[in-house]
Amino acid sequence: MVSFGDPQPLVRKALALLARGPLSTPQLATRLLGGTSSPGAAAGAVWALLADDSRFVVDTSGVWALRPAVAPVSDALRQVDFVVVDVETTGGSPASGHRITEVAAVCVSGGEVRETWSSLVNPERPIPYGITLLTGITNRMVADAPRFADVVPMLAPLLGGRVFVAHNAGFDWSFVCAEMDRALCIPPNERQLCTVRLARKLLPQLPSRSLGSLADYFGLEITSRHRALDDALATARLLLHFIEMLEDREITDWAAMESWLARRAPPQAKLFPRPMDSA
């Protein structure tokens, strides 16, 4: 009979293993418990350890996976679980081989910031000098940092089941998805919300919807601009301001917000040339 003491380290290990993709019961048993003279007992131990944990699912052929995340569709906006993400990178596109150098996630629900996490990431390629000037992140700083696959066990649980939010969400989304794919992990929930898009609709009078400009407009302090955690925290606070502004318009649930965002604004004369909103 296979036995184990405190199960939590094994459960955390199972979460990390399955974040990289599904495994059969024998595969999972071997990676969790090592070699054993009783494969049947090891498989039974896996079932005893994980079967009642709602974070895991197993199909009829005995293949285990993380339970797919399902984001709310029509919940009150204040009750939706959001994760605000910011990444710093070596360049503008993962399609060009650029990689993440820093990632942060800020969990927001109930009108409050609930949890924060961030990490430098070794991009496994040099950081261009111009990027270092912008972010302050140097090659020396990331030399001993974990690779993206190594931070997945901490990041994946924060992404799971939450709406992915970012300032210029397409940029951060593309990098996170590319890195998760490279690490053979389950991608984040497909439901996204872009705070640039919200700003364009809610504050059309502003000449710029960059994160710095919006922070100035709302009186938000960003301690270290172009660092992942500080930018993610600023974006999370913007999100809370935007939820209040939506509620003032009697837009209080997810479906109503999506419908409102999809409406075209009436044409109007532009007083200013439109700058890059995401800077």
Tokens of 140: 């020396």
Same domain, 94 and 38: no
89 in any annotated domain: yes
Same domain, 236 and 122: yes
Same domain, 127 and 193: yes
Question: Is residue 269 predicted with pLDDT exceeding 60?
Answer: no
277 in any annotated domain: no
- Strand 100-109 vs strand 82-89: parallel, antiparallel, or unpaired? antiparallel
Same domain, 170 and 244: yes
Give the pLDDT confidence score for residue 5 in this predicted structure: 52
pLDDT digits (tens, 9 = 90+) for 166-188: 999 999 999 999 998 888 676 77
- How far apart, in whole angstroms, are the C-alpha atoms of residue 246 and residue 198? 9
Q: How confident is the model at residue 37 (pLDDT cuts 50, 70, 90)?
A: low
273 in any annotated domain: no
Question: Is residue 71 predicted with pLDDT exceeding 70?
Answer: no
Give the pLDDT confidence score for residue 43 in this predicted structure: 82
Tokens of 41: 């007992």
28 in any annotated domain: yes
Q: Determine whether 241 is an active site residue.
A: no
Same domain, 121 and 52: no
98, 167, 226, 241: the active-site residue:
226
CATH at 145: 3.30.420.10
0.85 surpassed by pTM: no
Which position has the higher pLDDT, 224 or 272? 224
Same domain, 156 and 187: yes
Give the pLDDT confidence score for residue 2 in this predicted structure: 44
Same domain, 91 and 224: yes
Same domain, 111 and 203: yes
pLDDT digits (tens, 9 = 90+) for 99-156: 999 999 999 999 999 999 999 999 999 999 999 999 999 999 999 999 999 998 899 8
24 in any annotated domain: yes
Count up the domains in the chain and report the number.
2
Instruction: Show the 3-state SS of the chain.
Output: CCCCCCCHHHHHHHHHHHHCCCEEHHHHHHHHHCCCCCHHHHHHHHHHHHCCCCCEEECCCCEEEECCCCCCCCCEHHHCCEEEEEEEECCCCHHHCCCEEEEEEEEEECCEEEEEEEEECCCCCCCCHHHHHHHCCCHHHHHCCCCHHHHHHHHHHHHCCCEEEECCHHHHHHHHHHHHHHCCCCCCCCCEEEHHHHHHHHCCCCCCCCHHHHHHHHCCCCCCCCCHHHHHHHHHHHHHHHHHHHHHCCCCEHHHHHHHHHCCCCCCCCCCCCCCCCC
276 in any annotated domain: no
72 in any annotated domain: no
Question: Is residue 218 predicted with pLDDT exceeding 60?
Answer: yes
Residue span of the structural domain in which 26 resides: 8-66
